[in-house]
Amino acid sequence: MNRTALPGLYVHTPFCKTKCPYCDFYSVTKTARIGEWVGAVLREASRHRDAFPLFDSLYIGGGTPSVMNHDEIEGLLEGLSDIFHFDDTTELTMELNPDDVTKEKLAFYRSLGVNRISLGVQSFNEQEVRFLGRRHTARQAQAAVSLVAQGGFAEFGLDLMYGLPRQSTRTWLQTLRKALSFGPAHLSCYQLTIEGDTPFSRLSRGGNLQLPGEARQGALFLETSNYLTGAGFIHYEISNFARSEKTLSRHNAKYWQHTPYLGLGPAAHSFAGTKRWWNVRSLDGYLENLDKGTAPVGGSEELSAGQMRLERMLFGFRTRWGLETSEISSEASRATLEGLCDSGLIELRDKRIFSTVKGYLFADRLPIMVSA
């Protein structure tokens, strides 16, 4: 159930009890307006009923969706299923924070049709968890994963983070080993990156936060890939590993194939055909718009053929699906391809070009390198 052509639905939950210092996803810490927000999301959904009649994935992300109480989450999911149609095989993922996980909550989610859990563990090392400003401890994280694993969710995934300042290869591999011990269906391993306007970016600008050097980050990346593929996982996107073809994230895969998706909630992005649009990055603005009956759109773009092609290249080099050789036409670029093959960054098979694991390290520049 991995790659399908039906659209995906994303709901951005813009609430967090506390903000993590590395994260630049939009969220607010005042949770008083969750109820209002659910209503607004459903109003927004209604606006798209005709354009998006059928989905086969629903991803409740954030922010922290687990800050919603039972009534709110139930209202949201039932509301959405009243407005839209969902395919029988729909993948329904919900992001959870370890400190919100209880047996009872999990059972409730399952009863609502949630069939996939993504748990924001980040690390099983106490110091690292603290450094990342998480509300849970490593021990709580372990308990939470156990509950999820025992709670009947065959498909659960963990989010982990590496490349932290002063993180040793040893503690990172310990976290990975611990993660594997719970038998997850999916792992997302993110290298810590300094994003836009976050506390970490301010620290970094002030010289008070130093990430490991390029070479070390590169080595950690390769180590991670080695370790997890050695354990039978498929490294299907730069940061994503699945235990089997069946367990890779159907929803996320849509982002990388230009499959249509509808994003609801503030700051959510949508894509259909050659158009991408995104909602205002403000809860107040979002609510106000939907109150007045106007679209909460903050911006949009119509992609030219060249831009579509550039994105296909970007996605192709970042995933194991690669791209068609015919995408690269010019003589000079062909020569570059050969050079990249020789240096082991890409492979050519069946008229397609694939990044190797080593190539993933340069995935964001390969499109430029092969552009004339």
Q: Please report, as ranges, the residues that interact with another protein according to CB under 8 A.
A: 10, 25, 190-191, 193, 195, 213-215, 217-218, 221, 237-239, 252, 255-256, 261, 263, 267-271, 276, 278, 301, 307, 310-311, 314-315, 318, 339, 343, 345, 360-365, 367-368, 371
**157 or 263: CB nearest another protein:** 263
**141 or 264: CB nearest another protein:** 264
Angle between helices 34-47 and 70-83 (to 10 degrees): 10
The minimum distance between CB 314 and another protein, in angstroms, equals: 6
Q: How far apart are CA 183 and CA 149, in angstroms?
A: 8
**10 or 153: CB nearest another protein:** 10
**127 or 229: CB nearest another protein:** 229
The minimum distance between CB 367 and another protein, in angstroms, equals: 6
The minimum distance between CB 193 and another protein, in angstroms, equals: 4
**208 or 304: CB nearest another protein:** 304
The minimum distance between CB 216 and another protein, in angstroms, equals: 9
Q: How far apart are CA 278 and CA 357, in angstroms?
A: 32
**108 or 255: CB nearest another protein:** 255
For residue 184, give the nearest of 202, 204, 159, 221 by alpha carbon.
159
> 3-class DSSP state for residue 161?
strand
Supply the DSSP string of 64-122, one letter for each residue. Answer: -GGGS-HHHHHHHHHHHHHHSEEEEEEEEEEEE-GGG--HHHHHHHHHTT--EEEEEEE
The minimum distance between CB 303 and another protein, in angstroms, equals: 8
**10 or 86: CB nearest another protein:** 10
How big is the CA angle at 157 (ends 14 and 61), to the nearest 5 degrees?
15
* Beta strand ranges found along 238-329 (DSSP E): 240-242, 261-264, 269-272, 275-279, 297-302, 323-324
DSSP conformational letter for 360: H
How big is the CA angle at 323 (ends 158 and 222), to the nearest 5 degrees?
45
The minimum distance between CB 150 and another protein, in angstroms, equals: 29
Q: How far apart are CA 161 and CA 164, in angstroms?
A: 8
The minimum distance between CB 139 and another protein, in angstroms, equals: 27
The minimum distance between CB 163 and another protein, in angstroms, equals: 9
Cα→Cα distances 150→94, 178, 219, Å: 17, 16, 34
**16 or 106: CB nearest another protein:** 16
- Segment holding 204, helix H or strand E: helix 199-205
